[in-house]
Each structure stands twice: as structure tokens, then as C-alpha cells.
Amino acid sequence: MLTVAQTALELGLIYSLTVLALFLSYSMLNVCDLSTDGCFTLGAAVGAVVAVAGHPGLSLLAAMGVGVCSGFVTALLQTKMGINSLLAGIIVNTGLYSVNMAVLGGSPNINMNKTVTVFSAAKSLLAGTPLAPFSDIVVGAVAAALVIVILTLFLNTRLGLAIRATGDNPDMVRSSSINPAFTTTVGLCVANAFTGLSGCLLGQMQKSMDVNIGQGVVTIALASLLIGATVLGRGGIALRAFGMVVGAFIFRMVYGVALRLDMPAFMLKLVSSVIVVLALSIPYLKSQWPVLRRRLTAGKEAR
Amino acid sequence: MLDISHISKTFNPGTVNEKKALTDLTLHLDPGEFVTIIGSNGAGKSTLFNAICGSFLTDEGSIKLGGEDITFMPEYRRARSIGRLYQDPMRGSAPGMTIEENLGLAAGSGGWFSHMTARDRARFRDQLALLDMGLEDRMKQPVGLLSGGQRQALTLLMATVNPPKLLLLDEHTAALDPGTAEKVLKVTREVVERHQITTLMVTHNMHQALELGGRTLMMAAGRIVLDVSGSERAGMTVDDLLSRFKAGTGKALDNDRILLS
């Protein structure tokens, strides 16, 4: 059980960065960014290539940088070219597959067994301390904590408020002399920077990455987001952002336990799909329930 | 303050749905003037506001505000000097954000990365207290919890927290119950008076149109057909206004929501 929890915490912390990215784009900006899968892979690919070249620290910045570029393109398609936001994400996602293959030099995967990564660096740094066996968790926790702090500070600036208002009431943003195209662009750039970082860290922790590393990440992250919002949905931004990390952990925990109960690993994506469907449909079904009940009872009385 | 000269706007030109919404309309407003506008359905009142705000570009003519030509300025840039309230009280504030966050966004002092300071909060609290709705003690609550009247009052505060050059009120009390409407109207009068804001207000309440401000316009078919102010307006009754409208257009005022009392 302890190993299940440890694995859940390691993966949960790293995936939580993507969940926090969706927290910004989906919960705040009200844009469902379907380029997340491709951007996650892009971050992992660029991060791996830069790390293999001998720059583990730089790999993180590079992954975030390419994330910003990817988010910028997605935003450009929807704000300046009039493409529906869902479609813009899908288009970018498709295009990114080729970009990712190109980054990887045409081969579908990269091995980082002998590469110095932030994780191996942390391991040698923490060697001999009581934290040594948990070095992966430490890296993930530091990353998640930094992102939460940055996100909280950012969302409380005037720009952050404008981004939140863009998702909440675009009419009002226009009448507050703010260009919604600008706030959407900034929001997507920042969100995708976190997604790229998340992919980069996952690749480096697993010491290998392949071009399918990001497949289905958007659904997994959305499931974690919805779990997190249920657990810690009310309160300030910092608390809600922390809830995202908790959601990612709970999701991984449930999945880990299911694996223990002999659920095959390939079921992960179906499980996450079902969670997302349940979380999104329950509020609607709840609102429909009184009507349904009336109909059922009325039917009985008629008989 | 506001100089509109010879603007025209035709929607769907060249189709069966062609609609001349504004026809060669010219209007001049002095600084600090409070002008009420009445008119039939489809007279072009809201279209005039949309033209001033920049929701669309006019086909002809020019619009100047405070000496600056804003004819081709995008909507969000004009919003810096124009405050606008709509009939729908939900339209002017973000329901998922708190009262102070909404005000902070509207006040927009400082750069993009500035945070709300304790001084900002104190200022918002003072201004909220003037509304006399108890909102000053609910600054951390999301706006979605407020009633329509409270939200409209908040929107008014947001529109005037940095006094704009021009305030456009588009039947902003029409969707509220009479008591709340009275209160929002009272607040409107106080705010406009305090900051000496040039104001245009569309209303369907004839009594209000004569009572508020110092000048009344009547619109029909995209034109201003009646413009009364000063002593001529002071002695006017609702009946006078209606007969003048009929004399000006040859038709009785036709508005399904008009209030004559």
C-alpha cells in the first residue's frame, strides 16, 4: 500500500502541473484546450533532447518555452483567425505530432538511462539524508509548490483578474477596456508552459519518453481537476489550486489501487473517461431528476 | 464633450432585411450635461449607443469624445472613457469573482502585474457604503450571490469608479422591481452629480425622462425628432411631450413598454 501511495504521489505531483494548467485554461478562461496532449509530449520531447545534450536545468526552461509557443499558436487560431476554440486545440494537437517527431529526430522514443536529469541530480544531492528514498517526490513537490505560488500571485494581479473575467463574462471585459483576445492569449501561453513542464518532468522521471507519452493526458487531467474541484472547490485561489494537486493524487491513488486489484494497465484511459463523464454529467442529471421522478410517478398513477 | 456629426448606419445593406438604423444623426453634448432619450421601438436608441461605444463602425460621419476622434477606435479602447450600463443587470459584472475583484478590475489602477492594495480596498469599501445596500461588508463574496438591483448598483459603481467622460445608461432600471429601480436611480443621480459626468440615459418612463437631467431627446426612425431643454422643458408635461412627438413625426409614440405615469 505504501508503494502504491508513493507512486501515486510521484506521478500525481508531476501530472498536477497539467491539472493546474487546465485549472487556468478550463476553469478560469473557460477554454477547453485540446492541444494539451500534444503540448505535454512537446515539453517531454524538447526536455529530453536538451537534457541528453547535457543541460538538465535548461531542459525545464526549454520545455516551458515551447509550451508558451504552442499555447500562442492555439490562441492565435481562435482569437485572430476565427477558428472555434475546440477545433483550434485539435488542429494544433495534430500538427504537434509531426513537430514532436521532428524534435525526436525521427525516432519515436528517447532513452535517458545515463542522462543527468533534475531527478538524478536531486537524488545525488539528497544522498545520505532521510529524504533520499523520496527524492522524486521532493522534485515533484517543489515543482508543484512553485507553480501554485506563481499561479496564485498571477491570478491576483490585474492581468490575472482580467483573465478570470474573460472566462466569466466576456462582455464585461470588453467594457472594462481590456481586449479579450489579449487575455485569452496570455492565459493559454501560461497554461501551456505548465503543461510543457509537466511533460518534461514525467519524461525525465521515467528516464525515457516516447511520442505517445501525452496521449489522453487532457482527459486524465480533466478527471483530476474535477475530483480536486469537488474536494476543495470553494475558497481562495491558492486553496483551489492546492485542490488540483490533491485531485491529481486521488486520481493516481484510485488508479494504483485498481492496478493492485489486477486491473490491466491499459484500462487507465477508460477509467479516466468514465470519471470525466460522471463528474460532468452528474450536476445535469441531478437537475433533471425531479422531472424524471414526476414522470415516473405520473406514469404509475395513470396505470 | 460628445460631438456626433452626420452619422448613418444601415444594417444588411442591399438585402430584403435592409434596415436604416441611424440616418444622418448629429448630436452635441456639453460637459456635465444629463440628457434623457425616449423613442418608439426600433427608433435607434440602442443603435446610437452601440455606435458611440464602437460595437460597430458607422457607415458615414464622425464621432468625437472630449475633442478626440474615436470614429475608428476599437470598442475596448473606447471603453476607457465611456461607461455603459445595460438593461440586463447580469451583463456588467463577473458572477464568479468577488465584489472587490470586480471593482479592482474596473478600477484598473496600476499596470498589468499590480496587485490590489489595502488602499484600493478602503476606497472600494467607502464607495460601496455610499450605495447603502450593505455591500461593503460582503466584499469577499462572489457577485453571483447578489440580487439584480445590487448587481446593477455595483455595475454603476464599476462604470464610474474612474469617472468616465461619458456615461451611457440603456434602460438600466427597466428590469428591476419598482422599489429597487427607484434606489438604483437615486444612486445614479448621486454618482453623476458627484463626478459631474456627461450622461445619456435611455428610458421608457416618460415622467422620468422629463424629471431627470436638463435635456430630453426623442428619437424616431434613426433620427432625433425632438430636442428640448431649458425653460421650454421645465414647464412640460407628459401630454405635451406626446403631442410634440406626434407633431414631429406624424405618428403617435409607439412603444410597448412605455410608462406614461
Q: Rounded distance, CA B122 to CA B29, Å? A: 34
Report residue A152 as a C-alpha cell. 496564485
Does residue B158 sit within a domain? no
Reported confidence tier of residue B254, pLDDT bands at 50, 70, 90 = low
Contacts of A159 in chain B (CB under 8 A): 112-113
pLDDT digits (tens, 9 = 90+) for A137-170: 999 999 999 999 999 999 999 999 999 999 999 8
Q: Under the phi-then-psi rule, with left for phi > 0, alpha for psi from -120 to 50, and beta for the rest, what region is B228? A: beta
Dihedral sign computed on CA atoms, order A111, A114, A115, A121? positive
**pLDDT confidence band for B221 (50 / 70 / 90):** confident
Asked if pLDDT for residue B20 goes beyond 70, the answer is yes
What's the whole-number average pLDDT of chain A? 91
Contact at CB, B97 and A164, closer than 8 angstroms: yes
Q: If you measure CA to CA, which chain A residue comes closest to B111? A: A158
* B53 within domain boundaries: yes
Q: How many domains, chain B?
A: 1
**The dihedral sign for the CA sequence B64, B68, B74, B76:** negative
The verdict on a CB contact (< 8 Å) between A162 and B93 is no
Between the ranges A92-96, A121-125, A219-223, B135-139, where is the mean pLDDT highest? A92-96
User: Which residues in A have their CB inside 8 Å of a CB on B?
Assistant: 153, 156-159, 161-162, 164-165, 167-169, 171-180
Q: If residue A165 lies in a helix (H) or strand (E), which one and from where to where? A: helix A158-168
The arithmetic mean of pLDDT across residues B17-31, rounded, is 90
Instruction: Annotate A273-284 with DSSP letters as a single string.
Output: HHHHHHHHHHHH
Query: Does B51 reside within a domain?
Result: yes
Q: In this structure, what are the phi and psi dihedrals at residue B42, rounded to the nearest 5 degrees? A: 70, 20
Q: Which one-letter DSSP state was computed for residue A202?
A: H
Residue B203 lies in a domain: yes
Q: How far A154 CA lies from chain B's nearest CA (Å)? A: 8
Predicted confidence (pLDDT) at residue B225 exceeds the cutoff of 80 = yes
User: Average per-residue pLDDT in chain B?
Assistant: 87
pLDDT on residue B253: 67
Predicted confidence band of residue A29 (pLDDT cuts 50, 70, 90): very high
- Which positions in chain A touch B101 (Cβ < 8 Å)? 161, 164
B96 touches chain A (CB under 8 A): yes
User: Is B94–A164 a contact, with Cβ atoms under 8 angstroms apart?
Assistant: yes
Angle between helix axes A2-22 and A135-155 (nearest 10 degrees) is: 30
Residue with the larger pLDDT of the pair A302 and A260: A260
Query: Which of B193-229 are b and which e, b meaning 16 or more Cβ less than 10 Å from the residue's Cβ?
Result: eebebbbbbbbbbbebbbebbebbbbbbbbbbbbebe
Question: What pLDDT score does A71 carry?
Answer: 97
Residue B80 pLDDT > 90: no
Q: Tell me what pLDDT residue A282 has.
A: 84
Range of B180's domain?
A: 2-81+164-249
Of A101-110, A171-180, A192-201, B173-182, give the lowest mean pLDDT range. Answer: A171-180
H or E stretch covering B2: strand B2-11
Residues B15, B8: Cα–Cα separation, whole Å: 17
With H, G, I as helix, E, B as strand and everything else as coil, classify residue A37: helix
Please tell me which residue of chain A has the smallest CA distance to B143.
A168
Q: Cβ atoms within 10 A of the Cβ of A147, count?
A: 23
Per the structure block, which three cell numbers stand in for A59? 531542459
Answer yes or no: pTM beyond 0.90. Answer: no
Which CATH number do you get for residue B200?
Answer: 3.40.50.300
ipTM reported for the complex, 2 dp:
0.79
Residue B82 · residue B168 · CB < 8 Å: yes
**Residue in chain A nearest B162 by alpha carbon:** A176
Domain-embedded: residue B254? no
Task: Determine whether the interchain pair A179/B84 forms a contact, defined as Cβ–Cβ distance below 8 Å.
Answer: no
What is the rounded CA–CA span in Å between residue A301 and residue B46? 52
Q: Among A104-108, A127-131, A137-141, A223-227, whose mean pLDDT is lowest?
A: A127-131
Is residue B107 situated within a structural domain? Answer: no
Q: Which segments of chain A are extended strands (E)?
A: 109-111, 208-210
Q: How far apart are CA B198 and CA A38, in angstroms?
A: 52
**Mean pLDDT, range B91-115, rounded to an integer:** 86
The answer to whether B105 faces chain A, any CB pair under 8 Å, is: yes
Are A122 and A135 in contact by the 8 Å Cβ rule? The answer is yes
pLDDT in tens, B149-160: 899 999 999 988
Q: What pLDDT, on the 0 to 100 scale, is given for residue A189?
A: 97
- Residue A287's pLDDT band (boundaries 50, 70, 90)? confident
Place of cell 489486477: A262
Give the integer Cα–Cα distance in Å for B34 and B248.
23
At position A147, the amino acid (one-letter code) is V
Choose, out of A176, A182, A183, A186, the residue to mutate when testing the contact with B (most B CBs < 10 Å).
A176
Q: For residue B35, what are the β-bridge partners?
A: B200, B215
